[in-house]
Amino acid sequence: MNARTLYDKLWDDHVVRTEQDGTTLLYIDRHLVHEVTSPQAFEGLRLAGRKPWRSGAVIATPDHNVPTKNRSGGISDPVARIQVETLDSNCREFGITEFGMNDVRQGVVHVVGPEQGLILPGMTVVCGDSHTSTHGAMGTLAFGIGTSEVEHVLATQCLIQKKSKSMRVRIDGTLAHGVTAKDIVLAIIGEIGTAGGTGYVIEFAGEAIQSLSMEGRMTVCNMTIEAGARAGIVAVDDKTIDYIKGRSHAPAGEQWDAAEAIWRNLHSDEGAVFDREVVLDASRIAPQVTWGTSPEMVVPVSGRVPDPGREQDATKAEGMRRALDYMGLEAGTPITDIPLDLVFIGSCTNGRIEDLRAAAEIVRGRKVAATISQALVVPGSGLVKAQAEVEGLDKIFTTAGFEWREPGCSMCLAMNADQLKPGERCASTSNRNFEGRQGKDGRTHLVSPPMAAAAAIAGHFVDIREMRGIE
């Protein structure tokens, strides 16, 4: 057989039928559901008198709308409450397992899935959420879908798809101290642009990717969507296997052995051909900070806010001007001179235990700057929160002046009460710096967890590679 890419293998294993024009019916193994993009899909099922094809494939948890404090009082926003209650009742009606708001396993759906061993190598995974790409880190084909497709998968366990092109992004070499998975993926987006991956599935490879923990790989795959790609994947290796072994929903005993043997083949064959290859040198990646209103508007922390006057492309220059205006920044300002108002550590990009550990490492024994009005840590799931508390991370954060919250999406998209006020500037470990994303007229700078932590201490961005006492 021809040498196949990992994407080819995952695709081939799930083809139910293919039409002449290549339109394919693809079987879906795992379907994650949250409260925002599902109500209309369940309603559609009801109206058509349909039932889920395989309710066991579906796992639900509310995350976008849930409050991150005072949960015992329920959800005070009546519209949000109805949405979360609608998820509860839909799951009951259709026999779907849900980790409800007060279940310790609740959390951001993309943190919960892998944590529960619900995402296994070789699976196809979908969710009505663009950051479903996260799960590609486990050697799965995972991508976000719209609500009509959520309904389609619920009803048929399949999705109508056309195969994407394949791209390999290879990160050679090793990262400098203080440089993280987040910086890798921001650097990739800076390199290929937010539309650079459109029409592709990206496989991340190379020494620097292999050296990442599973959490780090999830961070990279998570933001594949910010590069415009359909999905991001990483080949299965020892780390994948070790990560999955023993998790609640992972196979055990003989079945584990059989599974492991198959999973070990989930890598691109020697000589497999990609439609596009991009190579980056890890040692040249610095901690990244976005300065604008698109994730591709990113520079190294040692850099300056760029000058639209130097951009050749007129549409781009206009976009840069608009972004600077929105962000309230002057071209040429050193990134480390940008003062901040808030800091947010959390989200499906950087709300896992390793992220909290890395941030706590910086925070330990220090205090949040007086000029920072709010510094939030929102664990990605109830279990991440519990683990962090066992390790005493919560104390490190609260002693320093951070707020320690309940798990959810929180200020990543500010659907709940955690929002920026107009003009406020936030260092955020989330994934989108769009206009209004964290609150109307709020300003978002995307960074890694240690960079966010250091910014909270200093009140402005600092290059953590040079950090000692922090000024």
Q: What is the footprint of ligand SF4 within residues 422-451 (CB under 6 A)?
A: 430-431
The length of the chain, given as a count of residues: 471
412 contacts which partner out of ligand SF4, other proteins, none, CB within 5 to 8 A by kind? ligand SF4
348 contacts which partner out of other proteins, ligand SF4, none, CB within 5 to 8 A by kind? ligand SF4
Q: Please, which residue, 131 or 385, has the CB nearer to ligand SF4?
A: 131
56 contacts which partner out of ligand SF4, other proteins, none, CB within 5 to 8 A by kind? other proteins
Please pick, from the candidates 4, 18, 88, 199, the single residue that binds other proteins as defined by CB under 8 A.
199
**Contact between 347 and ligand SF4 (CB under 6 A)?**
yes
**Contact between 39 and other proteins (CB under 8 A)?**
yes
Q: Please, which residue, 194 or 213, has the CB nearer to other proteins?
A: 194
Tell me, residue by residue from 41 to 60, as one string, x for binding to other proteins by CB under 8 A and - for no binding: --x----x-x--xx-xx-x-
**Contact between 161 and ligand SF4 (CB under 6 A)?**
no
Residues 314-343 that bind other proteins (CB under 8 A): 315-316, 319, 322
Q: Please, which residue, 324 or 446, has the CB nearer to ligand SF4?
A: 446
Tell me, residue by residue from 221 to 260, as one string, x for binding to other proteins by CB under 8 A and - for no binding: -------xxx------------------xxx---x---x-
377 contacts which partner out of ligand SF4, other proteins, none, CB within 5 to 8 A by kind? none
Residues 110-139 that bind ligand SF4 (CB under 6 A): 110, 129, 131
SS (H, E, C) the chain: CCCCCHHHHHHHCCEEEECCCCCEEEECCEEEECCCCCHHHHHHHHHHCCCCCCHHHEEECCCCCCCCCCHHHCCCCHHHHHHHHHHHHHHHHHCCEECCCCCCCCECHHHHHHHCCCCCCCCEEEECCHHHHHHHHHCCEEEECCHHHHHHHHHHCEEEECCCEEEEEEEECCCCCCCCHHHHHHHHHHHHCCCCCCCEEEEEECHHHHHCCHHHHHHHHHHHHHHCCCEEEECCCHHHHHHHCCCCCCCCHHHHHHHHHHHCCCCCCCCCCCCEEEEEEHHHCCCEEECCCCCCCEEECCCECCCHHHCCCHHHHHHHHHHHHHHCCCCCCEHHHCECCEEEECHHHHCCHHHHHHHHHHHCCCCCCCCCCEEEECCCEHHHHHHHHHCCHHHHHHHHCCEECCCCCHHHCCCCCCCCCCCCEEEECCCCCCCCCCCCCCEEEECCHHHHHHHHHHCECCCHHHCCCCC
* Number of residues engaging other proteins in binding (CB under 8 A): 79
- Compute the least distance from the CB of residue 415 to ligand SF4, in Å: 8
Q: Please, which residue, 229 or 462, has the CB nearer to other proteins?
A: 229
- Compute the least distance from the CB of residue 11 to other proteins, in Å: 14
Q: Which stretch binds other proteins (CB under 8 A): 158-166, 169-177, 273-281, 341-349?
A: 158-166
Please pick, from the candidates 63, 149, 226, 406, the single residue that binds ligand SF4 as defined by CB under 6 A.
63
Q: Please, which residue, 146 or 339, has the CB nearer to other proteins?
A: 146
Q: Which residues bind ligand SF4 (CB under 6 A)?
A: 63-64, 108, 110, 129, 131, 347-348, 409, 412-413, 430-431
